[in-house]
Amino acid sequence: MTNTQSPLPSPLEDGIHELPSGKLATIVTYLEMFARPTPRPVPEQPGLELIRHKAPDLDWYRVLYRRVGEDWLWFSRMYMQDAKLSAILTDPDVEVYSARKDGVDLGLLELDFRDPDNTELAFFGLDTSLIGGGTGRWLMEHALDKAFTRPIKRFFVHTCTLDSPQAVGFYIRSGFVPYGRAIEVMDDPRMNGPLSETAAPQIPRI
């Protein structure tokens, strides 16, 4: 998930728009729901537990953020200054969880309740070792339970074409409904940025 806030206010002119070297473009899809969907059955997840982290250590957080997001070029939190990131993660209306297996944190769930009318599934991701076998569904059911434990009005998320190709379909199956689309252009975070040159090899550096 990238750092986009809302869809573009007007459509772009039709056609192909070339990007200069060092830039990336992605199509962002916005999805929302207004009530807790009917829970879906979840396969057993032996040895897996969900851990709440209040005021998480920034180094720990960035390691996990990179672990689950580097393959999809998650970068927004990697640019963020310590004070700003700490202010978010220590806010009582931001909840950070890890999916932990055999003592190792392998998944990230972050819920942002700071806007009481618009609760955001801010970050949701798994290490590749946990992908498959229903672990994503397990984590999403936990996310939905925790989100709708509070008297929220709207739960929303956005994903983009840099993320897993399965992301949009997964969110729809989880009960989210698409409502908007945007194009985001950004510096490639592998070009003198916070991510390594070998990150996301499926997206060529130009």
CA angle, corner 109, sides to 108 and 111, nearest 5? 150
Q: What confidence tier does 8 reach under pLDDT thresholds 50, 70, 90?
A: very low
Domain presence at residue 1: no
- 99-142 pLDDT, tens per residue? 999 999 999 999 999 998 999 999 999 999 999 899 999 999 99
Residue 12's identity, in one-letter code, is L
- Count of structural domains, the chain: 1
In a domain? residue 86: yes
Residue 13 has pLDDT above 70, yes or no: yes
How would you classify residue 140: left for phi > 0, otherwise alpha for psi between -120 and 50, otherwise beta? alpha
Across residues 5-30, what is the average pLDDT?
A: 82
Strands 155-160 and 119-126, bridge-based pairing: parallel
Q: What is the pLDDT of residue 193?
A: 83
In a domain, 56, yes or no: yes
pLDDT digit string, tens, across residues 18-64: 999 999 999 999 999 999 999 999 999 999 999 999 999 999 999 99
The answer to whether residue 14 sits within a structural domain is no
Split at pLDDT 50, 70, 90, the class of 3 is very low
pLDDT at 15 over 90: yes
User: Considering the domain boundaries, does residue 165 fall inside one?
Assistant: yes
Range of the structural domain that residue 60 is part of: 33-187
User: Which residue pairs, CB below 8 angstroms and at least 24 apart, start in 134-140?
Assistant: 134/42, 134/43, 134/45, 135/45, 135/48, 135/99, 135/107, 136/170, 137/40, 137/42, 137/43, 137/174, 138/42, 138/43, 138/45, 138/48, 139/50, 139/99, 139/107, 139/109, 140/170, 140/174
Whether residue 201 lies inside any domain: the answer is no
Q: Give yes or no for a contact between 39 and 155, defined as CB atoms under 8 angstroms apart.
A: no
89 lies in some domain: yes
Residue 23 lies in a domain: no
> Encoding tokens for residue 56?
């998480």
How far apart (Å, rounded) are the C-alpha atoms in residues 60 and 178?
33
- pTM value is 0.92
CATH of the domain at 125: 3.40.630.30
* Whole-number Cα distances in Å, 1 to 16, 93, 128, 151: 24, 20, 16, 25
Which residue do the tokens 């899809």 mark? 29
Distance CA 1, CA 164 (A): 10
Between the two ends of the chain, the Cα-to-Cα distance in Å is 21
SS3 content of the chain, % helix, strand, coil (to 5): 25, 30, 45
Which pLDDT value is given to residue 10?
57
Q: What is the pLDDT of residues 158-199, one digit of tens each?
A: 999 999 999 999 999 999 999 999 999 999 999 988 899 999
